[in-house]
Amino acid sequence: MTAQYLLRRCFKVKKGDTILVHAAAGGVGLLLCQWGRHLGATVIGTVGSKEKAALAKKNGAHHTILYRDEDWVKRVGEITKGKKCDVVYDGVGKTTFMGSLDCLRPLGLMVSYGSASGAVEPFNLSILTQKGSLFVTRPTMNTYTASAKDLQATAKDLFNVVLKKKVKIKVNQTYALKDAAQAHRDLESRKTTGQTVLLP
C-alpha cells in the first residue's frame, strides 16, 4: 500500500512521466518499478550491485544506475537528456536527499518516504527556489490511510493491479519471528531484495 499512495496520491504518475526510484531492488522499490512502468512512466532505478540492477530491470526499471560506481546525479541527467525527473521516490534519506533534488526538473516533487541511511538533515528552504521551485513531501501510510474510506480505496487499488498481474509481489527471504533482529541487520546492510516476511 506504500507503493500505491506514493504513485497514485503523493504524485499521480501518468504516461510520459520520468520517475527516479532509489533502492530499486528493495521491497518498495521493486513495486514502484513495476507499477510505475505499468502506468506508462520511464523508470530509473538506483541500485548497489549488478545483481540488483538485473532484478530491478526484470521488475520494470528502464534504466538502472549503480550508485556506488557511477555519479548517479550525472547519469540521471544523461538518461533524461537534461530534462531530469518529474518525481523522485527516496526511501534512503540522508545520503541521497540533496543529490535527489538535483535530479528534479523545475517544479518537480521530492518524495522522501524513508530514512534507511539516517534522517534527512535540516536544510535551507531557499535551496528549493534555487533548484527550480521544487516541492518536497514526507508522507506516511498513517496519514494516507487515516480514514476507513482511504484505507479501503488504497487496498482495492493495490489488489486490482496484483490480481491483473501488473504488479507481482515476490517474497525473496523469510525469517523466523525470533530472528527479527537479524532480518533488520540484513536489511540495514543491504543484503535483502524484494519482500521480507517474518514467520511465527
Domain 2-143 is of which CATH architecture?
3-Layer(aba) Sandwich (3.40)
Predicted local distance difference test score (pLDDT) of residue 188:
83
- pLDDT at residue 3 in the model: 97
- Residue ranges per structural domain of the chain: 2-143, 171-200
pLDDT score recorded for residue 190: 82
Closest to 26 in 3D by CA, of 194, 198, 175:
194
What's the burial of 51, exposed, middle or buried (CB within 10 Å: 0-12/13-18/19+)? Answer: exposed
Integer CA distances (angstroms), 16 to 39, 85, 98, 143, 174, in order: 9, 11, 25, 28, 37
Look at residue 88 in the predicted model and tell me its pLDDT: 98
CA-to-CA distance for 145 and 96, rounded, in angstroms? 27
Query: What's residue 45's pLDDT?
Result: 98
Model pLDDT, residue 7: 98
| pLDDT averages per 10-residue partition of the chain, 200 residues | 97 98 96 98 97 97 97 98 98 96 98 92 96 97 97 97 94 94 89 91
Predicted confidence at residue 74, as pLDDT, reads 98
